[in-house]
Amino acid sequence: MTKSNSVNVLTQQIIGVAIEVHRALGPGLLESAYEACLCRELSLRQIPSECQVQLPVSYKGVRVDCGYRLDILVDNIVPVELKAVEQLSPVHEAQVLSHLHLGSWQIGLLINFHVPVLRQGIKRIVLGLSET
């Protein structure tokens, strides 16, 4: 399996986990509740992940600790940004793109749990372009 195929399989697994969490909890909770449950479900499925991962910024060759954190980093290659908002906005996508750039990752997921059907709240973001 090529690297891009394995990343695609991984993003599909993450989306499946998020759908499971959304089906169990529904919309309307705080982002922190979805994050805790998503981290638990990833663990139950033995998908390697870390929650609240520190993301340092490098400025002119110096590491600057700005307090940035990823909601979830799956298998050290897919950052996942969670939201529980009325509607995703361009700034949310920009946040994921910034995470991709800072962490040298290629693909990230932006997931908004505040929707009736979770597929409507999922955006797959690729560094250099955006996919739905």
Task: Provide the domain limits for residue 10.
Answer: 3-131
Beta bridge partners of 47: none
Instruction: Give 29 or 127, the one with higher predicted confidence.
Output: 29
2 vs 75 pLDDT, higher one = 75
- What is the number of domains present in the chain? 1
pLDDT in tens, 49-71: 999 999 988 888 888 877 789 99
> Could you read off the pLDDT of 82-110 as tens digits, one per residue?
999 999 999 999 999 999 999 999 999 99
Q: Are 125 and 107 in contact (CB under 8 A)?
A: yes
Residue type, 81: E
Distance CA 29, CA 16 (A): 19
pTM: 0.90
* pLDDT at residue 61 in the model: 86
